[in-house]
Amino acid sequence: MISLKQLLAPAVIGLALAAPAAAQDQEQMQKNLDDKMAKEFVSNAAWVTDYDEARKVAKEQGKVIFVYFTRSYSP
Amino acid sequence: MEGGLLTTPEFSTFSEKVVPFLHVTTRIEGRANEKLLSEKGGRGFPTLMFLDAEGEILGEPGGRDVASFDKTLGALTAIKDLEKRIAAGEKNLKDDLFMAQLAMGQFKTVAEIEEKAKSFKKLTKEQKATIAKAVVGKKVEEAMNNMERGPEGQAKLGKKFKAIYEEGIFPEGDMEGPFWGFLMEYAETERDAKTMKVALDHVKRIFGKEEWAKGLIEEKEASLKEIQEGGAEVVEEEVVEEVVEG
């Protein structure tokens, strides 16, 4: 029987996230994050990268927060 | 997304109307808010979401283009405006607000929607349909979130979806794919060709252009054909009773 895993691929990916990488990989994970932040799209908007800061600015400016969730641990 | 949409001048302009918040899941130990995506109910990458200043979810954009972002932002602004006018004492706006919130998916449970709906005595046919649709969407989402693992869990989920299907109101948005997908699987197991065909047609409509779905669709089409040709019901073997002479 074909598993529905494929069909639900976008729904399933998220379940595996947020497991911390092994200690020896930590350096690599930091490098991956640095690479991500150096990408062109990051400079195309005044992105806030801290959650508390985003809420603070939203309150001050009376705006809503638009979150873009992405990952750096794998491409 | 990062190589396209988010690098455009249109997105840059849009970003000035909101607080653009970039959240990266890094798997770096001890990093603050590392699990924010799953805390907000996100299921994969990328996920886009509107939050208020308290971090409460306001809604997700209807599509992945700046026009959709603007449209959702407009709907959120309209909700905020209605809330302000109601707070200022303006009458007869509560059902407009309720409908706008339903359309944005701002209720967490079926119970919450039903409870809220009860407080409205006079609703139009259209408004009732909007509520029914939102309730079905939430029911499907709740069933998905509480799904037990393994084939038994999948069968239970399929049975629930079949009951929803028989009532004739179907979910839209995020839950549409899982709904028809699991219903298709269930109908196949039950050798219910009629339901399987309907579900498969929806799966084709939703996922037909996706590369990964092609093999699956072909396989299900073949299976459907086999069920149709073999008859809708499993023929039970005849039991020949032995006559015991005494």
pLDDT digits (tens, 9 = 90+) for B155-202: 899 999 999 999 999 988 778 889 999 999 999 999 999 999 999 999
| Strand positions, DSSP E, chain A | 65-71
**Joined tokens for residue B216:** 């699956």
In this structure, is residue A33 part of a structural domain? Answer: no
- Name the helix (H) or strand (E) containing A9: helix A9-13
B211 — pLDDT class (breaks 50, 70, 90): confident
In this structure, is residue A26 part of a structural domain? Answer: no
For A52, the domain range is 45-75
Please provide residue B210's backbone torsions phi and psi, each rounded to the nearest 5 degrees. -80, 135
pLDDT at A10: 46
pLDDT at B175: 83
pLDDT at A60 over 90: yes
In this structure, is residue A17 part of a structural domain? Answer: no
Q: Which residues of B touch A72 (CB under 8 A)?
A: 24-26
In this structure, is residue A74 part of a structural domain? Answer: yes
B106 — pLDDT class (breaks 50, 70, 90): confident
pLDDT at B183: 95
Choose among A2, A15, A41: nearest Cβ to B6: A41
Distance from CA of B242 to the nearest CA of A (A): 37
Q: Which residues of B touch A26 (CB under 8 A)?
A: 28-29
In this structure, is residue A70 part of a structural domain? Answer: yes
In this structure, is residue A66 part of a structural domain? Answer: yes
In this structure, is residue A19 part of a structural domain? Answer: no
Strand, coil or helix: what is B56? coil
Q: Which residues of chain A from 5 to 64 reach within 8 Å of chain B, CB to CB?
A: 6-15, 17-21, 23, 25-26, 29-30, 32-33, 36-37, 39-42, 44-51, 54-55, 57-59, 61, 63-64
Within chain B, residue ranges assigned H as helices are 9-15, 36-39, 66-87, 94-103, 110-118, 125-145, 150-167, 176-189, 193-207, 213-230
Q: How many domains does chain A have?
A: 1
- Supply the ipTM of this predicted assembly: 0.78
Please state, in angstroms and rounded to a whole number, the distance separating the CA atoms of residues B204 and A11. Answer: 18
Whether chain A has a CB inside 8 Å of the CB on B78: the answer is no
In this structure, is residue A62 part of a structural domain? Answer: yes
- Max CA pair span of chain B: 94
